[in-house]
């Protein structure tokens, strides 16, 4: 999916069966594009049982992986001696140019990640002993970090009936998990200059926009969405009994401007 073919002024919708497969070196790990924006990319990564990524980094792109399904080991730092296990619901932050490996710890189950990169998709594979030259404008003090599902920040609840919890906030990337209560909506709001990408974890939701909020796109489990900067919209849970859960990511930050309060 090329950014040259995307109308960035409109809502973006990519169904779970419409993802574009990216070309990478590792045939046991598939990178699938769901969102291509002007300053954000989001997709789904699927690793076969026991798959190992090898050493890699994402150049200048700030990257966060969310564990959708399975268990993985992430190794980083000098000699890749720093290791952490991550499970469903955990977030892994990979700062620009930081080397790491990611291995599927299961010998019979696939590992599935939802990944966001800003400003765009990049995967650079390197040899096990190879060093990476980090540009002078990149903060070299940043390290790979993990936020467990039980430690999300709940202080970022900005829209009504849509509690949101922060997973990662870096200098130009925010990502969190949002819950939509049954039969409720978020109220009208925009995200200012921030470009937004989203992924539906469970349930169904409508995203309403346009004159009188009469235009809408409907999303369900596995779908991706994109909201351009400054676009007024409403998120609505179409079920009266079930919650909807989704990931939301933004560049440059978590901006929410509630229009109902103005």
Task: Tell me which of 108, 135, 150 is where a domain ends.
Answer: 150
State pLDDT tens for residues 208-218.
999 999 999 99
* pLDDT (0 to 100) of residue 157: 64
Whether the predicted pLDDT of 6 surpasses 70: no
The secondary structure of 23-40 as a DSSP string is: P-S-TTEEEEEEEE-SS-
CA distances from 48 to 12, 91, 96, 106, 108 (A): 29, 20, 26, 9, 8
Give yes or no for a contact between 226 and 35, defined as CB atoms under 8 angstroms apart.
yes
Task: Tell me which of 94, 125, 150 is where a domain ends.
Answer: 150
Shared domain for 51 and 125, answered yes or no, is yes
CA distances from 175 to 29, 81, 234 (A): 23, 27, 19
Round the average pLDDT of the chain to a whole number and report it: 92
Shared domain for 29 and 99, answered yes or no, is yes
**Average of per-residue pLDDT across 175-196:** 94
State pLDDT tens for residues 176-185.
999 999 999 9
Question: In the block, which residue shows the tokens 């690793």?
Answer: 47
Q: Which residues contact 186 (CB under 8 A, 6 or more apart)?
A: 159, 160, 161, 162, 180, 234, 235, 236
Task: Tell me which of 150, 185, 209 is where a domain ends.
Answer: 150
We report the CATH number of the domain holding residue 199 as 2.60.120.10
Is residue 112 situated within a structural domain? yes
What's the number of domains the chain is made of? 2
Range name among 24-28, 64-68, 108-112, 153-157 with the lowest pLDDT average:
153-157
Shared domain for 62 and 166, answered yes or no, is no
Whether the predicted pLDDT of 4 surpasses 60: no
Domain ranges, residue 217: 152-258
Is residue 7 situated within a structural domain? no
């Amino acid at each position: 999916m090329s950014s040259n073919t995307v109308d960035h002024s409109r809502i973006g919708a990519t169904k779970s069966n419409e993802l574009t497969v990216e070309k990478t070196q590792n045939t046991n790990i598939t990178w699938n594009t769901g969102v291509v924006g002007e300053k954000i990319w989001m997709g789904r990564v699927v690793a076969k049982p026991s798959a190992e990524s090898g050493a890699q980094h994402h150049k200048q792109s700030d990257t966060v992986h969310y564990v959708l399904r399975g268990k993985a080991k992430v190794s980083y730092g000098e000699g890749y001696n720093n290791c952490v296990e991550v499970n469903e619901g955990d977030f892994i932050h990979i700062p620009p140019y930081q080397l790491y490996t990611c291995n599927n710890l299961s010998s019979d189950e696939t590992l599935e990640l939802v990944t966001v990169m800003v400003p765009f998709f990049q995967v650079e594979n390197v040899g096990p002993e190879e060093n990476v030259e980090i540009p002078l404008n990149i903060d070299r003090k940043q390290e790979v970090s993990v936020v467990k599902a039980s430690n999300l920040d709940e202080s970022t609840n900005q829209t009504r009936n849509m509690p949101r919890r922060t997973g990662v906030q870096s200098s130009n990337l925010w990502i969190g998990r949002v819950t939509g209560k049954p039969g409720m909506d978020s109220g009208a709001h925009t995200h200012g200059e921030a470009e937004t990408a989203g992924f539906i974890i469970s349930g169904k939701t409508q995203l309403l926009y346009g004159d009188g909020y009469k235009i809408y796109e409907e999303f369900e489990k596995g779908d991706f969405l994109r909201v351009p900067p400054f676009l007024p919209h409403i998120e609505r849970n179409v079920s009266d009994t079930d919650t909807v859960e989704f990931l939301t990511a933004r560049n440059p930050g978590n901006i929410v401007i509630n229009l109902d309060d103005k």
